[in-house]
């Protein structure tokens, strides 16, 4: 036990109780150990100074070495500000503070030479740097390195003089006193050796006090690997433990149900990808372990057929199967298409949702419990308490986004003897590395091939000024008998405004298409679900030709005759949402179109999203772009983001490292499932520690 590392941060020289409490609160730094385990987020290369005359562009980040020739408070029209004048051999430049003046005045001194870092602002030809980081040249020389670490800070910390430079000095002082051997090693030697990783103590030292970029990269590689590796090890370890604990339904054979359907009733030849996935599932369900599989496949890739075949295997082995969808209308569609597919067989299929009541409900529940029913399709009514299965062997969940872990586990309990296998299907591809982390405990199957003969949807970007052309195009297609979706964005915080938009759009369309043959449906989130379903149904039955909607139609509805998707205010939609919406068309034989409407002015990100949409139909490419643009936290939502918080690693940039961390963790567990081997002692210890710190995982698995 290191005395220094365990020391509460307030006892460190130069900290004290007030700053100590701030560090606790703002950065969760409680001990000296926490301080040195909080890494810099970038470095300034101090060998590369810019001279003032070279500074030219707004937004440019520069490092200067200059004298502070004056420092004065200036009264502007609105507010006071503090203005400093910098001078180097090439010229002058201003630095400006709009707040925190007293601290600056106390800490900076006219006439001294500073290392200045900041973002340049050029206004009417005049260059300045607002709120620069400044440090005396003499002081920064004290840190023996040309690379200057920059630590994250907060306004409160800055105001108390605990900015990045002060952090750096604290850390420097700690390293002066610290015996490096007090930093315990956290990876087994054989791993470090094999992967050519520096030791933990070296890494920690290099990351704070590097003398070259080479050292920074050695340190980050080691520390990133460690972060990713322990995450993977913990995921895979829990998964194995779960498998060992939970017995799964055993599907030993392929029997009459499957064979009869496959030989006599299947309406098309499976794509190669569908065949492969059916094999993967088949392999899973005959191990005696519970399957937890995520099936990813773009909209229209034919996931339902894979689900159906899997359910038939369950029936062949004397089990029941169920299929759950997030909305009533989707569940109904699944029920209809399954019943249609199975109408020439003996298999009994039923539907259950909250809207099935009274006698009908009672009969279904009875038949489910006594084993009369083979397959039940429904909403999450299926996982509620009164629903008892005779012998549930497989549960298929369509569109996983709406089903959390909790609901998944409710399903497991629907069979008290053996756990039913779980197949989660999603049409929103998740980038591989994200799937490995956020859904690391699921096995993943991918359908990466569309059935033959599909005409890819043509996607076009149109500006407001071209609306007339869009309307004419809609009219032409409507006259050919096609149907059209027009989708408006819905953002929670301005729901009223959005509804007005939608209402306006609806009235405008009514004015334009005021002909008896073109009827318009409206569906939005504020409507009662029975009303929504009714409107949807009218559109499905071609009683209406235009569907004006918010994103409620995003999920799964199938209207093959709809061939045009017009998206209004495209810039306000996320990429995966756009991709989902586009998936509503292109389901029939006709050429389909997706028209992305936008205003004239677009942010860079908005442009990139639109560009991505017009240049590819590949859901995985879109998911990757989405991950790049929005980051993992936004994509997965709060629930999963806990497991994706890394200090150094990055799900976008470190894909190779993630894959290697996962495969190494897998190999280690293959050879030593309980980590009993002596050379894995460190792993076991670290893992225990990891589990105690990351309760999210305990919960998820």
Contacts to ligand ADP by CB under 6 A = 268, 270-271, 274, 297, 299-305, 427, 451
Pairing type for strands 80-88 and 91-97 reads antiparallel
Distance CA(197)–CA(20), nearest Å, equals 34
Q: Residues 312, 257: contact at Cβ < 8 Å? A: yes
Please say which residue, 585 or 648, places its beta carbon nearer to ligand ADP. 585
Tokens of 383: 């996982």
- Least gap, CB of 438 to ligand ADP (angstroms): 21
Looking up tokens 């956020």 gives 438
Please say which residue, 244 or 266, places its beta carbon nearer to ligand ADP. 266
Please say which residue, 302 or 505, places its beta carbon nearer to ligand ADP. 302
Identify the CA nearest to 324 among candidates 403, 392, 257: 403
- Least gap, CB of 333 to ligand ADP (angstroms): 9
Q: Residues 585, 485: contact at Cβ < 8 Å? A: yes
Please say which residue, 277 or 383, places its beta carbon nearer to ligand ADP. 277
- Least gap, CB of 297 to ligand ADP (angstroms): 5
Convert 618-652 into a string of H (helix), E (strand) and C (coil): CHHHHHHHHHHHHCHHHHHCHHHHHHHCCCCCCCC
Distance CA(381)–CA(370), nearest Å, equals 19
Q: How are the residues of the chain apportioned to helix, strand and coil, as percentages rounded to the nearest 5?
A: 50, 20, 35
Residue 648 burial (CB count, 10 A): 19
**375-413 b/e (C-beta count within 10 Å ≥ 16 → b):** bbbbbbbbbeeebebbbbbbbbbbbbbebeeeebebbbe
- Least gap, CB of 337 to ligand ADP (angstroms): 8
Distance CA(348)–CA(549), nearest Å, equals 35
- Alpha carbon 88 to chain centroid distance? 47
- Least gap, CB of 299 to ligand ADP (angstroms): 4
- Least gap, CB of 182 to ligand ADP (angstroms): 56
Q: CB within 8 A of 411, min separation 6: which ones? A: 324, 383, 395, 397, 420, 422
- Least gap, CB of 270 to ligand ADP (angstroms): 5
- Least gap, CB of 374 to ligand ADP (angstroms): 20
Q: Residues 418, 272: contact at Cβ < 8 Å? A: no
Q: CB within 8 A of 185, min separation 6: which ones? A: 199, 200, 201, 682
- Least gap, CB of 281 to ligand ADP (angstroms): 15
For ligand ADP, which residue has the nearest CB?
A: 302
- Least gap, CB of 584 to ligand ADP (angstroms): 10
Q: CB within 8 A of 165, min separation 6: which ones? A: 133, 135, 139, 140
Please say which residue, 451 or 631, places its beta carbon nearer to ligand ADP. 451
Output the DSSP codes for 135-151: EEHHHHHHS--SEEEE-
Please say which residue, 218 or 303, places its beta carbon nearer to ligand ADP. 303
Judged on CB neighbours under 10 Å (0-12, 13-18, 19+), 637 is exposed
- Alpha carbon 43 to chain centroid distance? 28
Kindly compute the dihedral angle of the four CA atoms of residues 130, 133, 138, 142, in this order, to the nearest 10 degrees: -170
593 to each of 378, 533, 562, how far by Cα in Å? 32, 25, 10
Output the DSSP codes for 357-422: -HHHHHHHHHHHHTT--SEEEESGGGGSTT---SSEEEEEEESGGG--HHHHHHHHTT-SSSBPEE
- Least gap, CB of 334 to ligand ADP (angstroms): 9
Distance CA(64)–CA(50), nearest Å, equals 5
Please say which residue, 199 or 591, places its beta carbon nearer to ligand ADP. 591
- Least gap, CB of 453 to ligand ADP (angstroms): 7
Identify the CA nearest to 86 among candidates 52, 44, 137: 52
- Least gap, CB of 304 to ligand ADP (angstroms): 3
307 to each of 295, 296, 348, how far by Cα in Å? 9, 12, 16
Please say which residue, 128 or 301, places its beta carbon nearer to ligand ADP. 301
Tokens of 237: 């370890």
Please say which residue, 274 or 433, places its beta carbon nearer to ligand ADP. 274
- Least gap, CB of 424 to ligand ADP (angstroms): 13
Please say which residue, 306 or 474, places its beta carbon nearer to ligand ADP. 306
Please say which residue, 352 or 427, places its beta carbon nearer to ligand ADP. 427
Please say which residue, 11 or 268, places its beta carbon nearer to ligand ADP. 268
Please say which residue, 427 or 442, places its beta carbon nearer to ligand ADP. 427
- Helix (H) or strand (E) holding 113, with range, is strand 113-119
- Least gap, CB of 448 to ligand ADP (angstroms): 12
Please say which residue, 140 or 428, places its beta carbon nearer to ligand ADP. 428
Distance CA(86)–CA(116), nearest Å, equals 9
Please say which residue, 76 or 452, places its beta carbon nearer to ligand ADP. 452
């Amino acid at each position: 036990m290191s005395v220094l590392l365990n020391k509460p941060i307030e006892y460190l020289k130069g900290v004290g109780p007030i700053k100590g409490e701030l560090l606790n609160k703002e950065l969760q730094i409680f001990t000296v150990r926490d301080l040195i385990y909080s890494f810099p987020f970038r470095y300034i290369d101090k060998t590369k100074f810019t001279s003032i005359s070279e500074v030219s562009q707004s937004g440019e980040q520069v490092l200067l070495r200059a004298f502070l020739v004056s420092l004065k408070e200036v009264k502007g029209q609105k507010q006071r500000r503090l203005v400093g004048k910098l001078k180097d051999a090439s010229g002058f430049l201003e630095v400006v503070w709009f707040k925190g003046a007293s601290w600056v005045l106390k800490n900076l001194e006219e006439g001294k030479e500073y290392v200045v870092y900041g973002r340049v602002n050029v206004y009417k030809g005049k260059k300045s740097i607002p709120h620069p980081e400044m440090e005396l040249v003499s002081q920064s020389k004290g840190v023996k390195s040309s690379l200057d670490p920059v630590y994250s800070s907060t306004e409160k910390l800055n105001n108390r003089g605990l900015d990045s430079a002060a952090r750096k000095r604290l850390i420097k002082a700690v390293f002066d006193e610290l015996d490096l051997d007090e930093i315990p090693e956290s990876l087994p030697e054989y791993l470090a050796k094999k992967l050519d990783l520096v030791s933990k103590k070296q890494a920690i030292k290099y990351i704070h006090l590097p003398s070259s970029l080479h050292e920074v990269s050695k340190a980050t590689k080691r520390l990133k690997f460690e972060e990713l590796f322990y995450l993977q090890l913990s995921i895979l370890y829990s998964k194995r433990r779960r498998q060992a604990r939970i017995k799964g339904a055993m599907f030993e054979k392929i029997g009459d149900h499957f064979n009869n359907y496959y030989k006599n009733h299947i309406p098309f030849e499976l794509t190669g990808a569908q065949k492969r996935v059916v094999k993967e599932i088949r392999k899973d369900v005959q191990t005696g372990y519970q399957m937890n599989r995520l099936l990813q496949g773009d909209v229209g890739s034919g996931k339902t057929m894979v689900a159906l075949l899997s359910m038939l295997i369950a029936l062949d082995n004397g089990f029941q199967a169920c299929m759950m969808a997030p909305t009533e209308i989707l569940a109904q569609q699944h029920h209809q298409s399954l019943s249609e597919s199975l109408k020439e067989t003996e298999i009994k299929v039923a539907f259950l949702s909250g809207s099935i009541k009274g006698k009908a409900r009672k009969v279904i529940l009875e038949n489910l419990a006594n084993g009369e029913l083979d397959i039940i399709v429904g909403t999450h009514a299926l996982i509620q308490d009164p629903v008892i299965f005779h012998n549930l062997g497989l549960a298929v969940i369509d569109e996983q986004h709406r089903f959390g872990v909790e609901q998944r586990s409710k399903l497991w309990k629907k069979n008290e003897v053996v756990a039913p296998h779980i197949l989660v299907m999603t049409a929103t591809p998740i980038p591989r590395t994200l799937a490995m982390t956020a859904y690391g405990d699921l096995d993943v199957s991918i359908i990466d091939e569309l059935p033959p003969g599909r005409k890819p949807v043509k996607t076009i970007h149109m500006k407001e000024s071209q609306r007339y052309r869009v309307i004419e195009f809609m009219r032409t297609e409507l006259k050919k008998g096609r149907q059209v979706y027009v989708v408006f964005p819905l953002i929670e915080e301005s729901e009223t405004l959005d509804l007005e938009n939608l209402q306006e759009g609806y009235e405008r369309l009514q004015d334009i298409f005021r002909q008896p043959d073109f009827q318009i449906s409206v569906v939005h989130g504020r409507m009662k679900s029975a009303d929504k379903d009714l409107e949807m149904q009218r559109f499905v039955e071609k009683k209406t030709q235009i569907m004006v909607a918010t994103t409620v139609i995003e999920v799964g509805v199938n209207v093959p005759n709809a061939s045009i998707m017009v998206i209004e205010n495209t810039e306000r939609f996320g990429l995966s949402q756009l991709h989902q919406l586009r998936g509503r068309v292109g389901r029939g034989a006709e050429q389909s179109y997706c028209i992305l409407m936008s205003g004239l002015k677009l942010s860079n990100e908005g442009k990139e999203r639109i560009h991505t949409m017009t240049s590819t139909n590949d859901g995985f490419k879109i998911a990757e772009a989405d991950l790049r643009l929005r980051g993992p936290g936004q994509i997965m939502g709060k629930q999963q983001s806990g497991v994706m918080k890394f200090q150094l690693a990055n799900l976008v940039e470190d894909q190779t490292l993630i894959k290697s961390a996962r495969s190494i963790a897998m190999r280690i567990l293959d050879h030593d499932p309980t980590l009993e081997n002596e050379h894995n002692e460190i792993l076991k210890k670290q893992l225990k520690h990891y589990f105690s710190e990351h309760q999210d995982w305990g919960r998820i698995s």
